[in-house]
Amino acid sequence: MTGPVSPYLAPAFYETALATGRHRDIVGGRWDETAGAQMAALRDEGLTPADRLLDIGCGCLRLGHRAVPWLDTGHYWGTDASLALMRRGWEVELTDADRARLPLAQLIEDADFAFPGLPATIDMAIAFAVFTHLPAGRLRPALAALKARAPRLRKLLLTLFLAPEGHDGAFRQPDGVVTHATRPPWHRSAATAEADAAAAGFALHWRDRRLPRGQRLAVLVPS
C-alpha cells in the first residue's frame, strides 16, 4: 500500500477542503439523503428526543443538522478527527436556533476514539461511514473505549463494508463502490466485525437496510 491508511490522513486534507468550501464533499456529499437515512435508522432502533446521542466521526454535522433540532436541547454530542470540520458544520449548517441547542464544547476533537470529556449519560451512538475509512484493527479498541466511557449506552449503530471471509482483493459492493482489505475504502468479513464486537463486550446484529454506497448496518448492544 502506498497511500495513507485513510484519505483523511492525506497532507493538509482538512485545511485544503475547508479553504475551498468543500466541507460537504469530504464527508461524502449526498447531504439530505444520507442525513435522512441516519435519522430513520436511529428512530427505527428506538432513539427518542429525550435520549443523549453520540455521533462518532460526525464530520460537518450531516446527521447533526437533522438530529440537533429533533433531540432535546443539549442532547447531541459529536466527535471527529477534525475540530475545524465540526466547527464549519456548526457555523454554516445549523440555524441560529440550532446553534443555541448545541454548545460548541459538545463537539470533541478525537482521532483516537478515546472519547475525552464525554459524559457518562450517552444513551445511543452512531458511527456512520467512519470505520469504512479505517483499517480493521481500529474497530476493536474503539468499541472497548466506548463501552467503558458510555455505561448507559443502549445501542451503537455502526456501518461497515463487508466482503466474504478471506477476500484479499478488490470487492464490488452492491451499489458499485469498490472496497479493499489493504487500503481505503476498507472492507472486512462479517465474522471479523462480530469477533471485534464480542471482544469489546457487545452483541452484534446485522440489519437488512439499504444504505448509501452499499454499506451494511450493524447494531451493537452491550452484552
Ligand X SMILES: C[S@@+](CC[C@H](N)C(=O)[O-])C[C@H]1O[C@@H](n2cnc3c(N)ncnc32)[C@H](O)[C@@H]1O
φ and ψ at 38, to 5 degrees? -70, -45
> H/E element holding 87?
helix 83-92
CA 63 to chain centre: 10
Residue 153 in the binding site for ligand X (CB under 6 A): no
Residue 179 in the binding site for ligand X (CB under 6 A): no
Residue 185 in the binding site for ligand X (CB under 6 A): no
Return the exposure string of 208-220: e unless at least 16 CB atoms fall within 10 Å of the residue's CB, then b.
eeebbbebbbbbb
Which residue in the shown chain puts its C-beta closest to ligand X?
59
Please choose, out of 27-35, 46-54, 98-106, 178-186, the segment that lies near ligand X by the rule CB under 6 A.
27-35
- Looking at 27, 41, 118, 158, which residue binds ligand X (CB under 6 A)? 27
- Looking at 37, 41, 67, 85, which residue binds ligand X (CB under 6 A)? 85
**99, 101, 29: which is closest to 62 by C-alpha?**
29
φ and ψ at 84, to 5 degrees? -60, -40
At its nearest, how many Å lie between ligand X and the CB of residue 131? 9
Please choose, out of 74-82, 115-123, 168-176, 213-221, the segment that lies near ligand X by the rule CB under 6 A.
74-82
At its nearest, how many Å lie between ligand X and the CB of residue 80? 5
- Complex with ligand X: residue 47 or 130, whichever CB lies closer: 130
> CB neighbours of 13 closer than 8 A, spacing ≥ 6?
7, 26
Rounded to whole angstroms, the Cα distance separating 154 from 42 reads 12
Rounded to whole angstroms, the Cα distance separating 149 from 152 reads 9
- Looking at 53, 71, 129, 197, which residue binds ligand X (CB under 6 A)? 129
- Looking at 62, 149, 188, 216, which residue binds ligand X (CB under 6 A)? 62
- Complex with ligand X: residue 57 or 124, whichever CB lies closer: 57
Residues that bind ligand X in the complex, under the rule CB under 6 A: 6, 8, 27-28, 34, 57-59, 62-63, 80-82, 85, 111, 128-130, 133
